[in-house]
Chains A and B, each alone.
Chain A
């Protein structure tokens, strides 16, 4: 791997003499992430490779595709948003598959550390407002420069979730209640249709003691209602126990919305709440989906099996949203 990477890097990074410390950070059936250092006379340059290895199949249906991800990351970077610089888009002669190499940004993505460690204590109170401004910047990226992306509406999203839930053939009255609630309150197509990151939450945000440093993972990017991103980051599953701080367990909706509106965009709180309910159900359906892949697919791991037993977490959160009990 280091030999291939070294040859690739030499073709576009003048002075580079090779790579060192290549380590696979994550690897699924269709996508891998590697971290490595480019060896350079001026000092090592930290880099990340995200790729579909040669011979891997087409990306899953909802995925934007690695080429589109690279374009989006570079667009965000050029717009001054916290986003890694794209160093290289893989070419066939690289023999590394398809994907891209980006500058590595140091920081933390693990929610429990961001929410508990002392080094992030000063960052936490400002994160919600900061992320509001960042996501407003994402929604403001010029439509004319965007790659081709799927277009989603709330109506399509409800139908997708319902189809997936029904395919499990396992009755869940709470999910039925949520689907009904969503259908009854479907706000219809949004007046503003923008780029939507699609997975704007812990795990995809690099945080430092100074605040947000990068937004990662554009795999689920699409065109749609910008309020979806604001609702998704409020889903209780991303609060990691800090349930009274709706934005990622570190801030309030008001702070998130204030940051968003300071950047010159408008918040529709009703739509945000609608997408929070949708997002809670979506994570629940995803948990059930992982159980299915454990049972039928190649990934017969305990972790996947146990995620199936997390779908009940979204059921209690849906009940807290839709049928709160008298206090």
Chain B
């Protein structure tokens, strides 16, 4: 068992230092690169927080949809293959819901400020 602090705590501390202390000192193209770097660190902390539960739920949905067991990678390959062959499509019960949920989970990690994502989040509220 590895010791504390956690990965999330370490990365957040570095990202906050870069954001609060270094950003005001950097100009020009390197300021852009620094922003990209901070965004990358923030993405890593989001993935560390969200990926475990997201993956478990995705495996469960895929197993149900495909009627088979396997790793997340194997199941996604099987689904991609069936869609490519036309064996599954948007008429297949549960496929659209699965793709939407999986994509929303990806955006929550990759780009939670993306306008399409925010719109879709909003429309799900009562």
Residues of chain A having any CB pair with chain B under 8 Å: 171-174, 176-177, 179-180, 236, 239, 241-243, 301-303, 305-306, 309-310, 312-313, 315-317, 319-320, 322-323, 325, 327
Flag whether B100 is at the interface (Cβ < 8 A): yes
A60–B117 alpha-carbon span in the complex (Å): 34
Q: Which of A171, A242, A317 contacts B77 (CB 8 A)?
A: A171
What's the dominant secondary structure at chain A's contact region?
helix
Write out the residue numbers on chain A whose beta carbons fall within 8 Å of the beta carbon of B110: 309-310, 312-313
Most A CB atoms within 10 A — which of B37, B84, B86, B100? B84
Asked if residues B43 and A319 are in contact (CB atoms below 8 Å), the reply is: no
By beta carbon, the residue of chain A nearest B43 is: A309
A176 touching B90, Cβ below 8 Å: no
Interface pair A180/B116, CB less than 8 Å apart: no
Segment with Cβ contacts to A, from B6-14, B17-25, B101-109: B101-109
Which 7 residue pairs spanning A and B have beta carbons closest together?
A171-B80, A176-B83, A312-B106, A171-B76, A309-B110, A241-B115, A171-B77
Distance of A171 Cα from B81 Cα, bound (Å): 8
With A236-B116, A316-B117, A316-B120 already in contact, the answer to whether A173 and B89 are too (CB < 8 A) is no
Given contacts A303-B36, A305-B40, A315-B106, whether A243 and B83 have CB atoms under 8 Å apart is no
Beta-carbon contact of B115 and A243 below 8 Å: yes
When C-beta atoms are compared, the residue in chain B nearest to A177 turns out to be B83
Q: Which residue of A has the minimal Cβ distance to B79?
A: A173
Q: Let me know if B103 and A312 touch, CB within 8 A.
A: yes
* Residue among B79, B81, B100, B116 with max Cβ neighbours from chain A (10 Å): B116
The 8 Å CB contact of B80, one of A176, A301, A319, A323, is: A176
Nearest chain-A residue to B123 (Cβ)?
A327
CA distance A172 to B106 in the complex (A): 12
Nearest CB in chain A: distance from B82 CB, A = 9
Are the CB atoms of A180 and B103 closer together than 8 Å? no
Is B119 engaged at the interface, CB distance under 8 Å to the other chain? yes
Instruction: Flag B67-107 by CB within 8 Å of A: 1 or 0 each.
Output: 00000010011011101101001100000100110111011
Query: Closest approach, in angstroms, between the C-beta of B41 and any C-beta of chain A?
Result: 10
Shortest Cβ distance from residue A244 to the other chain B in the assembled complex, whole angstroms:
9
Are A173 and B99 in contact, with the CB atoms below 8 A?
yes
Among A172, A177, A242, A323, residue most surrounded by chain B Cβ atoms (within 10 Å): A177
Q: Is the CB of B76 within 8 A of A173?
A: yes
Chain A residue at minimum C-beta to C-beta distance from B74:
A171
B residues in contact (CB < 8 Å) with A = 33, 36-37, 39-40, 43, 73, 76-77, 79-81, 83-84, 86, 89-90, 96, 99-100, 102-104, 106-107, 110-111, 114-117, 119-120, 123
Q: How far, in Å, is A99 (CB) from chain B's closest CB?
A: 23
What would be 22 A-B contacts, judged by CB atoms less than 8 Å apart? A171-B79, A172-B80, A173-B80, A173-B102, A176-B80, A177-B83, A177-B90, A243-B116, A306-B39, A309-B110, A310-B110, A310-B111, A312-B111, A313-B110, A313-B114, A313-B117, A315-B106, A316-B116, A316-B117, A319-B103, A322-B90, A325-B123
- Note all chain B residues with C-beta closer than 8 A to A309: 43, 110-111
Partner of B104, one of A177, A313, A316, A322: A316
Residues of B within 8 A of A179 (CB): 84
Contact indicator B96/A323 (Cβ below 8 Å): yes
Q: CB-CB < 8 A to B89: which residues of A?
A: 177, 180
A316/B40 contact (C-beta < 8 A), A171-B80, A173-B83, A177-B83 known: no
Supplied contacts A243-B116, A309-B111, A320-B116, 6 more A-B pairs, CB within 8 Å: A303-B36, A305-B40, A306-B43, A316-B103, A316-B104, A325-B123
- B73 — which chain A residues lie within 8 A by C-beta? 171
- B77: nearest residue on chain A (CB-CB)? A171
Chain B residues, Cβ within 8 Å of A302: 33, 36-37, 40
List the B residue with the shortest CB-CB distance to A301. Answer: B33
List the A side residues contacting B40 at CB < 8 Å. Answer: 302, 305-306
Chain A residue numbers with a CB within 8 Å of B99 are 173-174, 177, 319, 323
Partner of B86, one of A171, A180, A320: A180
Q: Which A residues are CB-close (under 8 A) to B104? A: 316
Measured in the bound complex, the distance between the Cα atoms of B37 and A317 in whole Å is 25
